[in-house]
């Protein structure tokens, strides 16, 4: 697989998000099968693996660490800090905590869980309104100097916050939701990333599965599934958003590929520093996702798709109100 740059960090042009190996989308495979799939992703050419202390919490880092231990020097491990996992939980989960002392202790714990001596890319998972971003960036800068962290990243941060952090410690990557039905980063953030030489890593590039074309209004979403309390996943919203899937199907059929491949290829075409991290629990889906790198668009193709997208209204907020509050960084 070809590589792309996240700042000065070279990674496969399609990465792998491992959050789905928690129970967020229902029962996950057993550990042995999960490890087989994660290692299989590397065998297929993926080098960027994304996790976080909040996934589980903690158990996902342990799984990723065990899976990647035999090939540690062949991969890039990205993880995230920033939630108050030891503190009081609100109605939808923990609040933020990026105090410098917690960042330092979290990184030490991450190194143990991930079975490694450094974290290649360390993100602040969500901007903490109670801690100046300069203090966060300065703390990570110290960890970089100590050899515990390779590169610094932010997640769901605003253009202004990115600039402030970058002045203290270069930001290698910005990870935010971005896809055919979530295009918020196009307003300001992508331009700032391009200006400052920062990579962009779209999370949920397949719309939590919807953009694969395998989910309809009739699809049952379990009550323990993260999507069951997101506005865009109500039955009514899924029915209304079927127009987007119809468009993807038309484009995919014309090109002899799948809707998921079109959705990922569209992202790859937007900017050369974009590296999507689709997640899946199935090796055949990883193979499918990687195939997106072989889809070639012309400028006319993209114009036609974008013109069609402009005529489609997306129904439902991308996250519920409580989760959206954590993205205003």
User: What digits encode the pLDDT tens for the residues 43-58?
Assistant: 999 999 999 999 999 9
Is 33 part of any domain? Answer: yes
Question: Does 55 participate in catalysis according to the annotation?
Answer: yes
The residues, any chain, with a CB within 8 Å of residue 37's CB and separated by 6 or more, are: 29, 281, 282, 283, 286
d(C-alpha 289, C-alpha 279), whole Å = 9
Hey, CA dihedral for 225, 102, 77, 58, is it positive or negative? negative
User: What digits encode the pLDDT tens for the residues 131-175?
Assistant: 999 999 999 999 999 999 999 999 999 999 999 999 999 999 999
Is 94 part of any domain? Answer: yes
User: Over 70: is that where the pLDDT of 284 sits?
Assistant: yes
What are the beta bridge partners of residue 217?
Answer: none
Is 24 part of any domain? Answer: yes
Task: Report CA-CA distances (Å) from 1 to 21, 69, 181, 242.
Answer: 24, 21, 26, 32
Is 329 part of any domain? Answer: no
Set 16, 25, 55, 233: catalytic member: 55
User: Over 90: is that where the pLDDT of 321 sits?
Assistant: no
94: CATH:
3.20.20.100
d(C-alpha 176, C-alpha 158), whole Å = 10
Is 264 part of any domain? Answer: yes
User: What digits encode the pLDDT tens for the residues 202-235?
Assistant: 999 999 999 999 999 999 998 888 898 899 999 9
Mean model confidence pLDDT for the chain: 95
User: Over 80: is that where the pLDDT of 16 sits?
Assistant: yes
The total of structural domains in the chain comes to 1
Segment (H or E) for 304? helix 299-310
The residues, any chain, with a CB within 8 Å of residue 30's CB and separated by 6 or more, are: none
Is 46 part of any domain? Answer: yes
pLDDT band per the 50, 70, 90 thresholds, residue 93: low
Place of tokens 């949920």: 204
Which alpha helices (H) appear in 78-205, and where do they start and end?
100-113, 133-145, 159-168, 189-196
Is 248 part of any domain? Answer: no
Q: How far apart are the first and last CA of the chain?
A: 33
Is 40 part of any domain? Answer: yes
The percent of residues above 90 in pLDDT, for the chain, comes to 89
Hey, CA dihedral for 90, 94, 96, 99, is it positive or negative? positive
The residues, any chain, with a CB within 8 Å of residue 88's CB and separated by 6 or more, are: 94, 95
Q: Which domain holds residue 47?
A: 3-208+260-294
């Amino acid at each position: 697989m070809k590589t792309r740059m996240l700042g000065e960090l070279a990674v496969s042009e399609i990465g792998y998000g491992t959050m789905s190996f928690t129970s967020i989308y229902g029962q996950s495979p057993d550990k042995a099968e999960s490890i087989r799939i994660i290692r299989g992703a590397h065998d297929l050419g993926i080098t960027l693996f994304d996790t976080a202390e909040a996934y589980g919490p903690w158990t996902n880092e342990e799984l990723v660490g065990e899976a990647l231990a035999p090939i540690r020097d062949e991969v890039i491990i990205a993880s995230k800090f920033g939630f108050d996992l030891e503190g009081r939980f609100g109605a939808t989960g923990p609040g933020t905590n990026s105090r410098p002392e917690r960042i330092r202790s979290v990184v030490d714990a991450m190194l143990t869980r991930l079975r490694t001596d450094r974290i290649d890319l360390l993100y602040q998972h969500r901007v903490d309104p109670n801690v100046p971003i300069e203090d966060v960036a300065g703390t990570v800068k110290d960890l970089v100097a100590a050899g515990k962290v390779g590169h610094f990243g932010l997640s769901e941060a605003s253009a202004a916050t990115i600039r402030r952090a970058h002045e203290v410690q270069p930001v290698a990557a910005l990870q935010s939701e971005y896809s055919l039905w979530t295009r918020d980063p196009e307003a300001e953030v992508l331009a700032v990333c391009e200006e400052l030489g920062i990579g962009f890593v779209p999370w949920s590039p397949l719309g939590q599965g919807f953009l694969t074309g395998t989910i309809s209004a009739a699809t049952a979403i379990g009550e323990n599934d993260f999507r069951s309390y997101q506005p865009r996943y109500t039955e009514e919203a899924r029915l209304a958003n079927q127009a987007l899937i119809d468009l993807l199907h038309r484009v995919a059929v014309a090109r002899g590929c799948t809707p998921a491949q079109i959705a990922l290829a569209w992202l790859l075409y937007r900017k050369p520093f974009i590296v999507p991290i689709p997640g899946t629990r199935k090796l055949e889906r990883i193979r499918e996702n990687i195939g997106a790198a072989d889809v070639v668009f012309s400028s006319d193709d993209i114009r036609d798709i974008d013109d069609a997208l402009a005529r489609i209204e997306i129904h439902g907020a991308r996250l519920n109100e409580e989760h959206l509050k954590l993205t205003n960084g």
